[in-house]
Amino acid sequence: MSNPLKFVLSAAALSLLSLTTATAQFATPEGQSTFTPAVTAEIPAATPVVSDLLGASRGAGRSLVIKATAYNSLSSQTDGTPHITATGTRTRPGVVALSRDLLRVFPYGTRVTIQDLSGRYNFAGRVFIVEDTMHPRKTNQVDIWMPTYRDAISFGTSTVRITALR
């Protein structure tokens, strides 16, 4: 007596594994014969991107008032790969690093706006993306990537409101 085993793989799991067809052999409960079910899945055109799967939209609409600083790609300000973010992308304008405690609120991939509450900087209309993280000793803070050391030093520190976009 052989009863086929049924199993389901989600389209998201298949797309993450880059699989469209999988084949496996299973033994029947009696162990006398085996069968090979072919599993195929249609991956929809609107498969979510990795940042969606990681929950990047989870913080949508959330807003916090925090300290802001700036950094650039110097080895003394980063780890051994100064031009690579924690998510594996290259540093560029619009990238921000968050303290690790804030990554629970604004996970990697979250698009945010930043409003400087001191009025010194005008970030109106700019959208930033969370792709980097800060040293574990930093808390309740955002670090904005700047192209030069001079720009980062000139920015100094400021109090900002960071808001996740919907």
Share of the chain above pLDDT 70, in %: 63
Taking all residues of the chain, what is their mean pLDDT, rounded to a whole number? 74
Band (pLDDT 50/70/90 cuts) for residue 79 is confident
User: What would the pLDDT profile of 6-30 be if each residue is shown by its tens digit?
Assistant: 333 333 333 333 333 333 344 444 5
Give the whole-angstrom CA distance, residue 9 versus residue 24: 13
DSSP-assigned states of every residue in 123-147: -TT--EEEEEE--TT--SEEEEE-S
Who's near 84: CB < 8 A, 6+ residues apart?
A: 90, 91
* pLDDT of amino acid 73: 87
* pLDDT of amino acid 60: 67
Name the CATH superfamily housing domain 51-164.
RlpA-like domain (2.40.40.10)
Give the whole-angstrom CA distance, residue 109 versus residue 94: 12
Q: Where are the domains of the chain?
A: 11-47, 51-164
149, 72 contact by CB (below 8 A)? yes
* pLDDT of amino acid 55: 44
User: What would the pLDDT profile of 45-71 be if each residue is shown by its tens digit?
Assistant: 443 333 443 444 455 689 999 999 999
